[in-house]
Structure 1
Amino acid sequence: MHDATTDRPSSFPELRRRGFLAATGVGALALAGCGGPGTDDGAGRDGGSPTKGGRLRAAFAGGGASETLDPHLANLFADVARAKALFDKLADYGADLSAVPRLAERWEPNKALDRWQITLRKAVFHDGSPVTAKDVLYSYRRIADPKQAFRAKASLEPIDLDASRATGERSLEFVLKRPTAEFPNVLAAFGAYIVPEGATDFDEKPVGSGPFRFVSFTPGRSAVFRRHDAYWEGAPHLDEIEFVVANEESARVNALLGGQVEYAHELNPTTARAHEGKGRIEIVRLRGSAMQAFCMKTDRPPFDDPRVRQAFFLIADRRELVDGALSGAGEVGNDLFGKGYEYYADGLPQREQDLDRARSLLKRAGAEDLKVTLDTSAVAAGFTEAAGIFRDQAKKAGVTVEVRMGSKDSYWSDILDNGALCCYRSGAMPIEAHISQRLLTDSTTNATKWRHKDFDALYQQAQSIRAKAERAAVYERMQRRLYTEGGFLVWGFADWIIGTARNVKGVDAKAPANTLDWARFDTVWLT
């Protein structure tokens, strides 16, 4: 089970395959509207016209008996998939992680970038009531409640919610605490869903404005939602979507192969290779979905010396790491987050292994016989394999890497402050959000301990620039510095792998996990 952006593990116990099969027996869940496979382009799409009807069953790893449909508590991938079926946000992330309008039809800042006018589109909740500015303000104030631990609270921090106000039924003004050029990213933040004013109960009969409306929910087992015919973007093709829980990857695969589900989330590369092109199921690869890295703590030995960090950049054979740790299911990184995303500095030369130069840098740093501990865990796919591969690569440069296995349950909290070197993974988010959440002096998840006031100032400068091209130039300057002396050794970007039945069409293969078109079932249909 994974957090949707940082892959922090859930505290809930695993549910075993036996329980999943009992909950979703073939006889109990006969699929309506199924026919033979249509013409497919190999990526889960269909060149023909969408067809109406049927129930699609989607298997995700879940969160046990404590699961909730409260969208502001969405944390696991299953939570987010259910939330986006029932609810909507003002904006969401496109394939390049730029913000695209959703319930917000348009937005416009003032000259100082500290006040934003939002116009809502005409949309209705499942009970027929309109989505209004009051609903938006209620939702954001609920998320920001200091007594609660809602997912999007930190993302909404730039907004002065006391000063923000409705200016009409479908218009409002957000007053910000400081200039924020990338404010649409706040509107698209993970968990920033809009709920009806006054809503507090989300597990009995939640009401949203999303493409599906509530039918039933059994925590840890199943959730059934039905088509919302009045959805502002058009009614879904499917009659119903059912989310079923299967925590083990083998259970999801077997359920897909056995016809118990039509969509299986999060498959491993070995499974994909075994079934791709064999005709029984379709394999969909969502490129660039997860950054894979080694995190070097820049505030402590030996990585407080930039020469040692630069040496480690040169020790890594990124192709070997992708092939070995990810079974080739990904592409090489270049020590920067967000390859292919908006503002990514793609003009920097691809860094290659250079052991001679690495040894020279280590010698100049007085670290010829360096020994360092690399923390890893089986908490994420490829972590233990990557640690072993890098250990062998480092040995060729005269560096002794001792691999230390950590607990799956506490790994993410343990490595945030402890140790000097660790395996790290991040889901998709805008580059601006990655910088603000992980690379500023006061960032709460600053795993590399990168703290530089001049770097902070560049971020604030970028946020105060209205012209996108000028803002991009500042982001590139920041990335060039990280490329030279940062603490993230980004060796790869993993594919996110999904399996579908042959009769499932409309799955978007270009949408990284966490973006608008990932796990989006209103545009999917069955043949």
Structure 2
Amino acid sequence: MHDASTRRLPPPDRFPGLRRRGFLAATGAASLGALGLTGCGGSGDGGEGKGDGSPKRGGRLRAAFAGGGAGETLDPHLANLFADAARAKALFDKLADHGADLSARPRLAEKWESNRTLDRWRVTLREATFHDGRPVTAKDVLHSYRRIADPERAFRAKASLEPIDLDASRATGERAVEFVLKRPTAEFPNVMAAFGAYIVPENATGFDRRPIGSGPFRFVSFAPGRSAVFRRYDDHWDGAPYLDEVEFIVANEESARVNALLGGQVEYAHELDPTTARAHEGKGQMEIVRLRNSAMQAFCMKTDRPPFDDERVRQAFFLIADRQELVDGALSGAGEVGNDLFGKGYEYYADGLPQREQDLDRARALLEQAGAGDLRVILDTSAVAAGFTEAAGIFRDQARKAGVTVEVRMGSKDSYWSDVLDGGTLCCYRSGAMPIEAHISQRLLTDSTTNATQWRHDDFDALYRQAQSTRDRTERAAVYRRMQRRLHAEGGFLVWGFADWIIGTTNRVRGVEPDAPANTLDWARFDKVWLA
């Protein structure tokens, strides 16, 4: 068991730096200041925060994120961008969420337990209420999951909920759910914590007009592509937020987010470049928070086609990479080296394997053995993600020292991920935080829908099923280590680094958790942040 309104825009010259850079759209009639953007200090209640660094109540925090334009929505099941996820986290709750090590932590689920065969899980909900005062019930949970699983809708969490037989699952009490699974699933808590698996009221409608959730903030206003304002929900089960309000402001360009932060127009700026962080860190103008291990950086080799269908070629490429040079050059040093495995620092990570180092002599020998002494390959890349084009150029130069000719091919930002999923032979690749089990199930099984390395091995699939059928965590971890040893030796992911995600704040902001990878529980936890 695990215990687990619409208001007028301000005058355009009020924030000239934002207008110059296209920070806000000039159409529509949405709010940018329910309480006035100039007075963000708020009216602290005097009961906390006496200058000793303890939390202080009151104020509005303005947070700048890259957004999705006029098509944005507050429907939490459609969340895709970081801005979507941060807004959804403020308004809604999930049954569980991921801690810094990507293990599942209880949220709306107070506890969970499985039967002996791991194909039925009983979940008990904590006492929590929606923003309209109604209790969160088992019926709301089942409605939410069935909505996500609707075959006519493209909801992000649909694949994650696939193990659940929702027709057979049922409410066994107002706050008790029995989930019936299609197969043994030892990591079922990861399903409850899946990205986008939010709980909404059974009769929920009109998410963009007045969404009702059970999260720490309740809805005030929303202007797609511009801003959203949420107010503290005093009756939240995890305690009322310190802030009176949080405002999410859309600023697609990193320069606009930085200028807004430096100009005092926002207090929090998400997703800054490493060069920006290096230029401002320790200078007193802004505080830099580095979210470690937030994104895996890799080259993806297609294991089902020449030349990478020969494991000796894959092993040679592992040895060609100078990982520190890639981290320093492609990530501007904002990260740490990888060891050809996903999930460094996460639950079940095989950290006992020796760190792979560059060995050009051994790489050349392996290529000769494989009959690929004069190998030429195309490396697909794109400006779709930070560091991709830089990493491609650095690796091209590293490969040349081993006698390999790498031709870098630039792809479209709009179609890159679909182009490289099944096409090409070698590409730049990135992944955000997720449990190691989820990475395996979504990307490394024969029937995985995003199997970019085309890794398909029946015996590997069998090991995954064995792990999911193993109740004892220590024994299960041993199976995952066995799978990772094989991937380290002959897999298709050349994982060269793990990038920091960089947040900038003013020096008034307190409570931002530095050890939370993006998309985990403590990332964008505005209910735990306060203004000094």
If the length of structure 2 is used for normalisation, what is the TM-score? 0.93
Aligned equivalent of 2:463: 458
Aligned equivalent of 2:509: 504
Cα distance in 2 for residues equivalent to 1:221 and 1:137: 33
2:220 to 215, 219, 225: 215
1:255 to 249, 252, 260: 260
The alignment status of 1:18 with 2:18, answered yes or no, reads no
Aligned residues: 504
SS in 2 for 1:152: helix
8 Å Cα contact 1:26-1:260 kept in structure 2: no
Cα distance in 1 for residues equivalent to 2:422 and 2:359: 30
Structure 2: runs of 5+ lacking an equivalent: 1-18, 44-50
Q: Residues 16 and 380 of structure 1: is their aligned pair in 2 closer, same or farther, counting only changes over 3 Å?
A: farther
Structure 1: runs of 5+ lacking an equivalent: 1-14, 36-45
Structure-to-structure mapping, 1:250-329, within 5 angstroms: 250-329=255-334
The alignment status of 1:525 with 2:499, answered yes or no, reads no
Shift in Å at residue 18 of structure 1?
2.4
Cα distance in 1 for residues equivalent to 2:39 and 2:65: 18
Q: What RMSD over aligned residues (CA atoms) do the two structures have, in Å?
A: 1.7
Cα distance in 2 for residues equivalent to 1:18 and 1:295: 36
SS in 1 for 2:158: coil
Cα distance in 2 for residues equivalent to 1:322 and 1:19: 31
Cα distance in 1 for residues equivalent to 2:423 and 2:115: 43
Aligned equivalent of 1:432: 437
Cα distance in 2 for residues equivalent to 1:508 and 1:380: 24
SS in 1 for 2:191: helix
8 Å Cα contact 1:16-1:248 kept in structure 2: no
Q: Residues 66 and 228 of structure 1: is their aligned pair in 2 closer, same or farther, counting only changes over 3 Å?
A: same
8 Å Cα contact 1:235-1:522 kept in structure 2: yes
Aligned equivalent of 1:107: 112
The alignment status of 1:398 with 2:406, answered yes or no, reads no
Q: Residues 283 and 352 of structure 1: is their aligned pair in 2 closer, same or farther, counting only changes over 3 Å?
A: same
Q: Residues 244 and 315 of structure 1: is their aligned pair in 2 closer, same or farther, counting only changes over 3 Å?
A: same
SS in 1 for 2:40: coil
Shift in Å at residue 199 of structure 1?
1.0
8 Å Cα contact 1:292-1:491 kept in structure 2: yes
SS in 2 for 1:116: strand
Higher relative contact order (CA 8 A, sep 6+): 1
Q: Which amino acid aligns with 1:30?
A: T
Structure-to-structure mapping, 1:23-172, within 5 angstroms: 29-33=37-41, 48-172=53-177
If the length of structure 1 is used for normalisation, what is the TM-score? 0.94
Deviations 1:332-358 (A, max 9, x none): 000000000000000000000000000
Aligned equivalent of 1:420: 425
8 Å Cα contact 2:34-2:229 kept in structure 1: no
Shift in Å at residue 31 of structure 1?
2.8
Deviations 1:445-484 (A, max 9, x none): 0000000000000000000000000000000000000000
Shift in Å at residue 280 of structure 1?
1.1
SS in 2 for 1:442: coil
SS in 1 for 2:399: helix
SS in 1 for 2:87: helix
Q: Which amino acid aligns with 1:31?
A: G
Cα distance in 2 for residues equivalent to 1:72 and 1:427: 18
Aligned equivalent of 1:39: none
Shift in Å at residue 26 of structure 1?
13
8 Å Cα contact 2:23-2:250 kept in structure 1: no
Q: Which amino acid aligns with 1:33?
A: G
SS in 2 for 1:210: coil
